[in-house]
């Protein structure tokens, strides 16, 4: 991707963002990562590759996604103007598909007929299964057995799309264990298999290439904001689990210091309760899933169980570039509780006729907290990273409703 920003040059050649990132994997995976790095280096500046990526994003995904000025909600909040980058309007209903197309194109170039993925709530699994169907690839999705139970509709979706869904019974039986299992599959079947990681985490080059594929989000905003509002936003706000939608919208803004970047983590039932998934706010640096980053861990360095109402944010780590942006203070990271996210979810439904994903509702909730403290001419650009159809049963259950 020709998107090297002028002043910001991360990661370095070995995948480090300051002290974070890197390649922390067993020797058996090193050649696979070398091969991937070489393939990506050869593709990222290849005009044919970029043209195909652009074509797919336009005709298959439906890009560019619009920016929508949420006037009624902004008026109600009585302060800054809130603008929504509508990733929820993409094919498959979220930003995830941008990255899946990029990685599936790489897989084809590398001659790998089989793709695998990990998934928590199922969104990345559905996006991967979608793209695999589109390209005629075999697809296996690893999903914690707890999540398979909770997300039956997405499991069925993946099967409709021709994917095999493998329930993972180890560890806490959630996203992190699905990721472990996908890595184990990859190391065993590396000659035939491409591992499509769903977020800006994992060993180098994944955090970089997922960011690059997702940065279409922010690049569009750079063009759209002046067209719509006459200038760039004052704040860019996005939710952070692994952090791919946030990196996608932040990255093109990194070299515009006037634009404040805010990542919103899941504070669950409150940071002080211990039931949350706010790695940057409450974690310590460590090594997991191939990179060094902030992790939620106990004193002995064991990874702890996390909680969020939003399955997509329910992860004990975070992409290493966010760790670096936090330490270098280019971005700031805040927490939003389950309750605040739900309030924003309902407000957006009622005031704007948009049902947001619970993940994105965290970013919306922070915008709702911030807007009233700012003058009316301030602009908050929020990444509405996905739609909320998948969350119907979660939200209904909170209101005591069963389907």
Partner 1 sequence: MSRIATTFAELAARGRKALIPFITAGDPSPEMTLPLLRALVAGGADVIELGVPFSDPMADGPTIQRASERALARGMSLRGVLEIVSQFRAEGGLTPIVLMGYANPVEAMGVDRFVVAAGAAGVDGVLIVDYPPEECLEFAAKLRAAALDPVFLLAPTSTDQRIADVAKAGSGYIYYVSLKGVTGAGHLDLDEVARRIPMIRSRVGMPVGVGFGIRDAESARQVAQVADAVVIGSRIIEEIENAPVEAVTDRVTAFLGTIRRALDGQGD
| 265 labelled catalytic | no
Closest contact distance (angstroms) between CB of 88 and partner 1 is: 32
Q: Is 176 a catalytic residue?
A: no
CB 155 within 8 A of CB 178: no
Write the CA distances from 170 to 87, 110, 163, 286, 311, integer angstroms: 33, 31, 21, 21, 18
Nearer to partner 1, 27 or 377 (CB): 27
Which parts of this chain interact with partner 1 (CB under 8 A)? 14, 22-28, 30-31, 34, 170-171, 176-177, 180, 183-184, 187-188, 190, 284-290, 295, 297, 299-303
Task: Name the nearest CA neighbour of 306 among 333, 331, 258, 271.
Answer: 271
Give the nearer residue to partner 1 in terms of CB position, either 262 or 288.
288
Q: What is the DSSP letter of 372?
A: G
CA 147: distance to chain centroid? Answer: 18
Give whichever of 19 and 66 is closer to partner 1, judged by the CB atom: 19
User: Residues 220, 367: contact at Cβ < 8 Å?
Assistant: no
CB-based contact 177:305 (threshold 8 Å): no
> Least CB distance from residue 300 to partner 1, whole Å?
4
**Which residue is catalytic, options 43, 56, 65, 96?**
96
Strands of the 379-384 sheet, one edge to the other: 67-69, 81-86, 379-384, 235-239, 260-268, 331-337
What the block records as the tokens of 268 is 């669950």
Query: Tokens in use for 334?
Result: 């805040």
Residue tagged active-site, from 56, 87, 118, 146: 118
Burial of 398 (0-12, 13-18, 19+ CB in 10 A): middle
Asked if the bond preceding 11 is cis, omega within 30° of 0, the reply is: yes
Pick 180 or 378: Cβ nearer partner 1: 180
Question: Is 385 one of the catalytic residues?
Answer: yes
| Angle at the Cα of 191 from the Cα atoms of 186 and 196, rounded to 5 degrees | 45
Cα 201 from Cα 297, distance rounded (Å): 17
Q: Residue 112 CB, nearest distance to partner 1 (Å)?
A: 15
Selection from 2, 103, 104, 89 nearest residue 46 by Cα: 2
Please answer whether residues 80 and 371 qualify as being in contact, where contact means their C-beta atoms are separated by less than 8 angstroms: yes
Strand pairing report for 235-239 and 81-86: unpaired
The set of residues, in sequence order, having a beta carbon less than 8 Å from that of 355 and lying 6+ positions away, is 345, 348, 349, 387, 388, 389
d(CA 331, CA 319): 13
Contact status, residue 76 vs residue 364, Cβ threshold 8 Å: no
Q: How many CB atoms lie within 10 A of CB 370?
A: 21
Q: How many helices (H) and strands (E) does the chain have?
A: 16, 14
Q: Please identify, using beta-carbon distances, which residue of 70 and 175 lies nearer to partner 1.
A: 175
Annotated catalytic residues are 96, 118, 385
């Amino acid at each position: 991707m020709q998107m090297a920003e002028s002043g910001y040059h991360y990661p370095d050649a070995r995948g480090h963002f300051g002290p974070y990132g890197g390649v922390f994997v067993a020797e058996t995976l090193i050649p696979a990562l070398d091969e991937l790095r070489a393939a990506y280096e050869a593709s990222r500046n290849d005009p044919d590759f970029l043209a195909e990526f652009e074509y797919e994003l336009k005709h298959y995904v439906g890009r560019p996604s619009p920016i929508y000025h949420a006037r009624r909600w902004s008026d109600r909040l009585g302060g800054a103007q809130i603008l929504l980058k509508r990733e929820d309007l993409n094919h498959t209903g979220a930003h995830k598909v941008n990255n899946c197309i990029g990685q599936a194109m790489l897989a084809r170039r590398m001659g790998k007929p089989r793709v695998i993925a990990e998934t928590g709530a199922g969104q990345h699994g559905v996006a991967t299964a979608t793209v695999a169907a589109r390209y005629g690839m075999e697809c296996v999705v690893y999903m914690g057995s707890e999540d398979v139970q909770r997300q039956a509709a997405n499991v069925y979706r993946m099967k409709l799309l021709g994917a095999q869904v493998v329930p993972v019974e180890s560890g806490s039986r959630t996203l992190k264990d699905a990721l472990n299992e996908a890595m184990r599959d990859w190391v065993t079947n590396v000659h035939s298999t491409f591992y499509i990681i769903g977020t800006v985490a994992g060993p180098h080059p994944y955090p970089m290439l997922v960011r690059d594929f997702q940065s279409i989000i922010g690049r569009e905003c750079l063009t759209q904001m002046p067209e719509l509002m006459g200038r760039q936003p004052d704040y860019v706000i996005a939710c952070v689990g692994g952090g791919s939608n946030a990196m996608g919208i932040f990255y093109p803004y990194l070299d515009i210091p006037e634009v404040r970047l805010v990542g919103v983590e899941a504070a669950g039932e409150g940071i002080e309760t211990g039931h949350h998934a706010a790695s940057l706010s409450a974690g310590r640096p460590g090594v997991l899933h191939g990179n060094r980053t902030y992790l939620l861990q106990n004193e002995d360095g064991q990874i702890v169980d996390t909680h969020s109402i939003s399955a997509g944010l329910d992860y004990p780590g975070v992409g290493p570039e966010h760790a670096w942006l936090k330490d270098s203070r280019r971005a700031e990271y805040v927490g939003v509780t389950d309750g605040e996210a739900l309030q924003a979810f309902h407000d957006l439904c009622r005031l704007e006729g948009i049902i947001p994903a619970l993940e994105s509702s965290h970013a919306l909730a922070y915008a709702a907290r911030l807007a009233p403290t700012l003058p009316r001419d301030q602009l908050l650009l929020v990444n509405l990273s996905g739609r909320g159809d998948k969350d119907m049963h979660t939200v209904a259950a909170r209101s005591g409703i069963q389907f």
